[in-house]
Chain A
Amino acid sequence: MTALLSVEGLRLGYARADVVHGIGLAVQRGSIVSLIGSNGAGKTTILRSLSGLMKPRAGSVRWSHGETVEIAGEAAHRIARRGIVQVPEGRQVFANMTVAENLRLGAYHVATPEAARRQEAVVARFPRLGERLRQQAGYLSGGEQQMLAMGRALMAEPVLLLLDEPSMGLAPLIVEEIFAIIASLRAEGRTILLVEQNASAALAIADYAYVLETGRIRLQGEAAEVARNPEVTAAYLGV
């Protein structure tokens, strides 16, 4: 089966240093693929290149939704319009705008009546956002901002959702809530590439996992298998 997204030989870097050294990965339609690794392993850099925020130095990124196209190096706004939507690290909600305006921007290319319908669906999923539609996003709590960032991405009805550290800096109860929502999105058939430092939570809901170490794939396999790997349990699961 052709993967929805398939990456080969991806090389990424800042200034003179390479950060990611020619990695390959594949994301099958309808699955959650998790990318785990310690701080500085290159996880966020990889996501930024997939969403177009960063240009790869080498390698190919193939997108097979309908026809298969090469999207490495394409501008971020074009990649977003293909249905690859990133929830960036640190949420990056539009702090000066209201919750409703943030959501509207998620469906920027959609006519207003359709955007309103999608907003209803997002609010049904995140009722707390519904109570705060007129509030300025900058005043929301960290957990609410994460929900808003995810809700905003869902407004685009993405084919592939790229989640960058959705649990970062959040209280354990909120993390549980966020991961329950991620699991429910998969149950609805969405495809998710999840980058997480919280390896145990990520491996618990993922189908497939890659372990990244200093810009190279150290290990990959079914998430359950990876979770049982002694190296992984020692290094990331604190067992």
Chain B
Amino acid sequence: MSFEQGQRVRVASREHRGHHRTPGYLKGRVGTVERSHGSFTNPETRAYGESGLPEKELYLVRFEDGHLIYADIYEHWLEPQ
């Protein structure tokens, strides 16, 4: 799924027992898409010896908590808010 700069998004709060790069402290949080970094091989499948294809788009997302947190989140972990 594709997202626009400035779009509000929610990080999925699903459990994922295998390797994934969405930190627990951000799951379920709402943030704003800052930019896209482009597409990368999927670490969740590469971690098990697969090719990591098809590539997934990676977004820099901004979260507010008094201070700001910027984290790189893959498209399949983001939902429109």
A binds B: no
Chain B interface residues toward A at CB < 8 A = none
A residues with a Cβ closer than 8 A to B are none
